[in-house]
Structure 1
C-alpha cells in the first residue's frame, strides 16, 4: 500500500483538527495597511515628469501614468502605501515541501511623506515610518524611467533591523490578475492570498481524499497555491503589470477589492512596472528583462518522445511494437539509465549519474541502433547525489567524491545536509561553489553526454533548505527561490560548452523569475493521474496558461500524468481513456512526451493495447503536421517572449470567452483554438468561442460565435475540439496536411 496506508482512516479526525489549525493560522495572515500622515507643505497636488511617464501627487496618494495617456493608470495608491516590521519565520523543508511559520513582531504602520527629489528621470520619495515601539525609521521609494518597457521601482528601509516590507497599491474591484508563474488550480488570482515560494507542488493539492491522506502520512498533499515554478509577476485585465525582482519569500494579497499588498521578507525591494497597450506587449516587456527561450531542436518536433524503462531487452521490445504501429519517434527517454530502485513511492532511480551497465548491457550498440533509425536517446539528472555503496556493482560513487571535496550543501554545524526524498535521503550539490559546479558539469560531460544522449530531464531544484550553509556565504533564505535558476544555468552552460546549442535539449521542472533566459524547455512536474483541476489533466492546462504569461513559453506536461497511488481507501491509476485524452492535449503543445509514471505496472501505457498504439500514432501525426506552425511560433517566442500555448485573454482581452474560470480551452499561437476533453466519459463539448466566425477542424462546419455564447460540438476520442478563424491560412494548411496523412477523419465515428 506504500506510504498512503491504512492509517488514513484512523487519522481522519486528526485531519479535521489539523484543518482547523491551518485555517486559524491563515486567519492571522492579515495585510499590514499603513496610515499616511502628510505635513501641510506636501498636501498640495504636484506633478513630476519622468521621461515618458508622469507621477501625479494628489496630496494623500498618487497616480503614475504615461505622459501621453494620463487616462490610464499604471500604478496608483490612495492613503498609506508602505509599512515595515520585524518578523521571524521558521521554514521547514520536508521532501521538497516548504512549511512557513511566520511570526510578526514589531510593526511600523505610521507612514509620512516628507520630500520629493527629481534628478533627471528618477524621482525619490522620502519619508519616515513610526513603529509600535516608538522607533522612527527613514525610507526611500524611487521611480525611474525605463523607456518603453516601463519604470523601475525601488524601496529601501534605513533601519537594517527591519526585515519585513509591506508595499500596497490600488486596484479596481472588477480587475482580474493573471500570471504568477505556474499556477495550477486557478488562472485568475483576484480575491486570493498567493505566496511565492518554489517548492514541491504536492500530491492532490486539494483533491480529496488523496490530499488528506498524503498530508497525514507524509505531509505531502500540497495546497492550491503550491508550485514548482512560481514567479512574483502578474498582468491584469486593466493592462497593468508588476514584477518583483526579489528572491525572498513574498506574498501577494489580492483579497481586498480596492488594494493589493505585497509582503516581502526582506528590508528592501527592486521591482518593475511594465507599460503596454495589450497583453502581448506586457509579456514582451517582462521577457525583455528576464530572458526568452530559444527554439527547440528541430528533431524534437517530428515525433513523440516516449518514456521507457526496464533495461536494454525491454526497451528494444517496446520500440519494436511502436515501430510496427507506425508511431513517428523523435526520441526515447530512458530515465533509468542510472539504474532503477524500488521505494515506498514506487519505481525510482539511483541518483548517481553514471550508466548502469548491468541494467543496460550493450549500451553502445543500442545507442547506435536508435540513432540509425533517427531516434535520439534522452536521460535524467538532478542536483542530488546518493551513496551507492549499498547498490554494489563497482559504479563510480559520485556522492563520496562530492563529500570528499566539500561540494555538498551543509548544515549549521558544517556537516553535509541529508535531505529525505521518499524512503531514502540524498545530498544536494552546492551550486554556489564554483568548484562544485565545474565538477558536476564535467561529470555530466563524461558520464552522460559521452554516452550519446541528445537530451535529458534536469529534475528538482526546489528543495534548498532555509537553514542551509552555502559556500558563497549567501543567506539560503534568499538563495532558495533562485536555486532552480542556478540549476538551469549549469545545464545551459553544459550545453554551450560542448557546442550543443540548437541540438541538445534539457527540460526543467523547478523555476523562478529568470528561468526563461536559462532553460531550453519546461515541463509542468508531477501531475496526478486524474482529470481534475487540483492536480490532474485540467491543472496541466491551467499551469501552461499561467506560466506562459511569465515567460515559460516552451512548456509541456508528462503525457498521462505521473503520480499513481495504490491505497485500500481509493486507488489513483491511469486509465486508458485518460491517457488517450492526455495524448490529444499534448499534441497541441511544444513537446509530445510520455511518462510511464512512478508505478508503471499500475498505469495504462501508450504501448499497452492496439487502441493506445493507434491513438499515439494518430496524434503524433497531428503533432508533426503542426511542426511548421510551431517553428514560426518558436521564433516568435525567441524574439518576443510570447508562449506557444496561450490563454484566450492574450488575444481577446475584451471578449467574455477569455474570462472563463477556470479556463477549459487555449490558443496554440493566435490561429488555433483547442478545447481538450477534461472530463471522463465526455464525447461532446460546449466551447466558449470569441465572437466571430470559426471553422471546426474535423467537420469543417462553420460556427458564428456571439459574445458570451457557446457552441456544441462532438468530441469523441480522436477529435478534441479544434477551431480556426474563417480564412486562417494556418488552419487551412493544417486541414490539408491532416487530409494528406489520412488523419482528418477520426477512427471513432461521432454520433
Structure 2
C-alpha cells in the first residue's frame, strides 16, 4: 500500500514523490537500500501510538515518539536485504505497510566475448554466480555505447582483436580497449588525445521495490554540462540529480532542463541514455552514475562514451545522437516583449503602440494572461454556447467581451508592425470547482476517453504539487488525445493567425505508478514528459504555420534542442540572478540547448534598478533570444519591464534610450544571429559557448572569468555583472581580438581592462574572422 488515510491514521510512505520536499507523514528513505536507517512518520489523532516491525519471522514492538500536532515518528533501525512489514497502531486503528530491501550485485568477470560485424556481445559474471549480458556498439563516429542488460541497435562496422586477456575494438573515430582481468575500459580518439576511462564493474540493486543500477568512470579534474544549471560550470565535487523539476526562483542545482551528460575539457564525455531520474556523483575521482528503475522495467543501462577532437565536438556528437538542433524563423531573433499584466486588449495595444511610438524594434509579443484560465483556449470574457467536450470551436462561435473585444484585429495590428504573437499554454486541464459548463464538458470527455496520464488503477492522474493542483495532465503519447487537444486550439492559428505558443510547465508528474498510452510508467515519465509535451506542440505549431512558428518552453530533457526555443524560468530581479542566468545559458548550450534566453532584468519582485536593468538588457541583446518579461503584479504600481516604465519609475531616461539602442543593435545583428544559428546548428553547436571549452589549452587562464561567453563563432561577450562597475577585466582567448566599440586590436591570452559605462557591454570580435569588419561596423555604427 502506498497511501492510506483513515479517520485516525495517515501514513504515506512515498509522500507525493516530490524529489526534494518531504511530507511529515512519510517514510525516510522512501526506498530503503542495504545499510539505510529507516524512520516512519505518521499522523494520528491519539496521544500514543506504536509500530510493530516484522522481518525474517521476527516481530518487534517499537514505541512511537510524539512530535506534537498529532505527528509521530518511529525508528525501524538499519536494514539489510529482505522483506519488511510494519504495522502502525493508533487509537484502535491499524494499518500495515511493507517494503523490500534488495541486495547489491557487482560484475566481477568477463565470462565470454562474441564479436559480430557491428556489435560485441559480452557475458559478464556477477559476484553471486549469475551473469549479465553487455553489448558494445559504436552508434556514431567517436561514440562507444556500453549497454548493460539491453539489446543495442546496429552501429558502425568494427574490427576487434583479442590477446593476453585484452580486447581492442576499433570503429570510425573511436578505439575501445578492455582489460578483461581488471574490467577497466578506455575509449580513445585514434591519433588524438581524448581518452575516456571507465569500468565494467557495474552494480545493480536487485530484489528491491526500486531497482538501482550503477556505472563508473574516471572523472578527471573538471566536468561540465548536466543541463541548464544556474551554478559555476565545473561540476566536480558534488552529487547532482538529473530530474526535470520546477524550483520557483533561486534554482541552484535544480533545473527545468537537465541532461544526463557531462563533458571534459579534455574532449571526452559521458551520456547516460536513460530517461529515468539519475544521479551523477562527481565528488571523487571515480564518478558514479546511478539510475533508478521500477522492477517492472527492464534492468538496463546504456552509457555512451564520446571522444572528439575538441570539447564542443563532444556536445556536437551528443546533439546528433539525439535528433540535432532546430532553428526558429528569423523573426524569432528580434527583440521580444511580454508581461503577465497585459491581461486585456487595451493594455496590450497600448504597449505595442508605445513601442512603435518610442521607435523601439520588436518582433515578438508573448501574451500569457489572454485566456479564461479554465479552458486555456478561449479568450477571457468571450461569450459562447458551450459545446460537447469532444467538439472544437471556430472564431465565429464567440462574441467577444470588453477585455478582448477584437482579438483578430489586435493580432492583425501587431502583424502590421512586424510583431508576431505567441499565446501561453500549459499541458493541464485545470481543476475548476466552480460552475463552468465548457470546462466540465471537456474534463468529462478527457476522463471518459482516457486522454490524460493515468494512475495505477486506471483513474485520471491529478497534479499533486502546488502547480495547478488537482488538474488533469494530457497524455501526448495518445494520438486521440493530441488530436482532441489541438483541435480546440486550431482556430487560434486558422482564424486568428497567431504565430506560436509559450509552452509553460511540463515538470509536475509525481508518482511512480503513473501510466501513459504508450505503456510507460512514472519513473520513465518524470523526465521524458517535458519533451513529449513540447514536441507535440512543436509539431502542431509547425504544421499550422508551415514551419514559420515556434514554441517557447521552460522544461525539457535530452534532445530538447529539437524544439526551439527555451527560457530559464522564473528569476528574481537581482544581481545574483543575473550572474546565475549567464551560467545557465552557457551550461544549457554545453548540454544541447542552443535557442535559449532568460527574462531581462528578472521576472519577479519590484522593478530592477536602472543599472541592473541595462546591464541585463545588454546581456539579453547578445543572447540567442532577447526578451523581457515580468510576473503578474496585484499591487497598484506598474512593474512591467518595458523600458519606458523603468525610466519613468526611476526618473532616469537612460533606461529607455539605452534599451532602444540595444534593440536596434539587435536588429542590425539579425542576419549574423540567424546565419550563425543555422550554420552552427547544422553541426550540433550552440550559439552560446564557454571560452574555456572552445580554447581548452588556455582554460586555466580563461576559467577566472565565469561570466564571459562566445556568441556565435566570432564574438566574445563579457556581461557586466557587478553593481557599480565602471570598467571590466576581459580575458582574451588565444588569437587576435578587436574591441567592437573602439576598433582597438589586442593579442590574446592577456587581460585587458576596458571601460564599461552603463550603456556599453564589453564585446570583442575575432580579428581574423571574415565578418570582423562588418561586425565592428555594426557596433560602431550603432553608437553613431
Contact 2:695 2:734 in 1 (8 A): no
Give matches, 1:244-259, under 5 Å.
244-257=272-285, 259=286
Between Structure 1 and Structure 2, whose CA radius of gyration is higher? Answer: 2
Equivalent residue in structure 1 for 2:751, among 667, 687, 710: 710
CA shift at 1:597, angstroms? 2.2
Q: Structure 1 residues 617-626 or 278-287, which shifts more? A: 278-287
**In 2 relative to 1, CA 381–137 (structure 1 residues): closer, same or farther, beyond 3 Å?**
same
**1:326-380 deviation line (CA, Å, top 9, x unaligned):** 10121221111114xxxxxxxxx55622222343122122122222222222111
Indicate whether 1:593 and 2:627 are aligned: yes
Counterpart position of 1:380: 424
Contact 2:227 2:588 in 1 (8 A): yes
Aligned partners of 1:280, 1:550: CA distance in 2, in Å?
Answer: 10
Contact 1:199 1:227 in 2 (8 A): yes
Give matches, 1:93-104, under 5 Å.
none
Indicate whether 1:189 and 2:223 are aligned: no
**1:678-727 deviation line (CA, Å, top 9, x unaligned):** 12222221122213432222222333343xx4221111221011111334
Counterpart position of 1:139: 132
Contact 2:212 2:290 in 1 (8 A): yes
Aligned partners of 1:698, 1:25: CA distance in 2, in Å?
Answer: 57
What is the alpha-carbon root mean square deviation over aligned residues?
3.2
Report which structure shows greater RCO (CA 8 Å, sep ≥6): 1
TM-score (norm 1): 0.75
Aligned partners of 1:449, 1:264: CA distance in 2, in Å?
Answer: 44
Counterpart position of 1:301: 333
Contact 1:185 1:539 in 2 (8 A): yes
Q: Structure 1 residues 408-417 or 385-394, which shifts more? A: 385-394
**In 2 relative to 1, CA 703–104 (structure 1 residues): closer, same or farther, beyond 3 Å?**
farther
Aligned partners of 2:33, 2:602: CA distance in 1, in Å?
Answer: 34
Q: What stretches of structure 2 of length at least 5 have no aligned partner? A: 1-21, 23-27, 37-80, 85-98, 151-203, 294-298, 383-400, 648-652
Aligned partners of 1:658, 1:449: CA distance in 2, in Å?
Answer: 54
TM-score (norm 2): 0.72
Give matches, 1:323-402, under 5 Å.
323-339=356-372, 350=374, 352-356=376-380, 357=382, 358=401, 359-388=403-432, 390=434, 398-402=442-446
Contact 1:327 1:613 in 2 (8 A): no
Aligned partners of 2:415, 2:256: CA distance in 1, in Å?
Answer: 33
Aligned partners of 1:438, 1:181: CA distance in 2, in Å?
Answer: 31
Indicate whether 1:544 and 2:568 are aligned: no
Q: What stretches of structure 1 of length at least 5 have no aligned partner? A: 1-17, 19-23, 33-84, 89-101, 206-223, 340-348, 565-571, 746-751
Equivalent residue in structure 1 for 2:641, among 580, 605, 610: 605
Equivalent residue in structure 2 for 1:170, among 218, 237, 258: 218
Indicate whether 1:574 and 2:574 are aligned: no
Counterpart position of 1:726: 767
CA shift at 1:291, angstroms? 1.6
The 3-state SS of whatever aligns with 2:659 is helix
**In 2 relative to 1, CA 641–391 (structure 1 residues): closer, same or farther, beyond 3 Å?**
farther
**In 2 relative to 1, CA 202–394 (structure 1 residues): closer, same or farther, beyond 3 Å?**
closer
Give matches, 1:403-552, under 5 Å.
403-419=447-463, 420-421=465-466, 425-447=470-492, 450-466=495-511, 467-498=513-544, 500-501=546-547, 503-517=548-562, 519-532=563-576, 536-552=577-593
CA shift at 1:673, angstroms? 0.5
Counterpart position of 1:221: none
Contact 1:353 1:398 in 2 (8 A): no
Contact 1:688 1:710 in 2 (8 A): yes
Counterpart position of 1:673: 716
Contact 2:431 2:469 in 1 (8 A): no
CA shift at 1:666, angstroms? 0.5
CA shift at 1:737, angstroms? 2.4
Aligned partners of 1:446, 1:634: CA distance in 2, in Å?
Answer: 31
Aligned partners of 1:171, 1:688: CA distance in 2, in Å?
Answer: 27
Give the aligned length.
Answer: 609
The 3-state SS of whatever aligns with 1:410 is coil
Counterpart position of 1:636: 679
The 3-state SS of whatever aligns with 1:374 is coil
Aligned partners of 1:364, 1:86: CA distance in 2, in Å?
Answer: 65
**In 2 relative to 1, CA 170–633 (structure 1 residues): closer, same or farther, beyond 3 Å?**
same
Counterpart position of 1:649: 692
CA shift at 1:458, angstroms? 0.8
CA shift at 1:104, angstroms? 6.5
Contact 1:177 1:236 in 2 (8 A): yes
Equivalent residue in structure 1 for 2:289, among 250, 255, 262: 262
Aligned partners of 1:555, 1:590: CA distance in 2, in Å?
Answer: 6
CA shift at 1:422, angstroms? 5.0
Counterpart position of 2:618: 584
Indicate whether 1:273 and 2:305 are aligned: yes
Aligned partners of 2:758, 2:441: CA distance in 1, in Å?
Answer: 48
**In 2 relative to 1, CA 29–526 (structure 1 residues): closer, same or farther, beyond 3 Å?**
farther
Contact 2:614 2:658 in 1 (8 A): yes
The 3-state SS of whatever aligns with 2:696 is coil
Aligned partners of 2:118, 2:478: CA distance in 1, in Å?
Answer: 39
Aligned partners of 2:726, 2:375: CA distance in 1, in Å?
Answer: 43
**In 2 relative to 1, CA 491–184 (structure 1 residues): closer, same or farther, beyond 3 Å?**
same
**In 2 relative to 1, CA 705–106 (structure 1 residues): closer, same or farther, beyond 3 Å?**
same
Aligned partners of 1:482, 1:638: CA distance in 2, in Å?
Answer: 23
The 3-state SS of whatever aligns with 2:290 is strand
Aligned partners of 2:640, 2:688: CA distance in 1, in Å?
Answer: 27
CA shift at 1:587, angstroms? 0.6
Indicate whether 1:228 and 2:260 are aligned: no
Contact 1:648 1:658 in 2 (8 A): no
Give matches, 1:691-702, under 5 Å.
691-702=734-745
**In 2 relative to 1, CA 424–464 (structure 1 residues): closer, same or farther, beyond 3 Å?**
closer
Aligned partners of 1:109, 1:538: CA distance in 2, in Å?
Answer: 43
Aligned partners of 1:603, 1:29: CA distance in 2, in Å?
Answer: 50
Counterpart position of 1:124: 121
CA shift at 1:159, angstroms? 10
Equivalent residue in structure 2 for 1:627, among 651, 670, 674: 670
Contact 2:692 2:703 in 1 (8 A): no
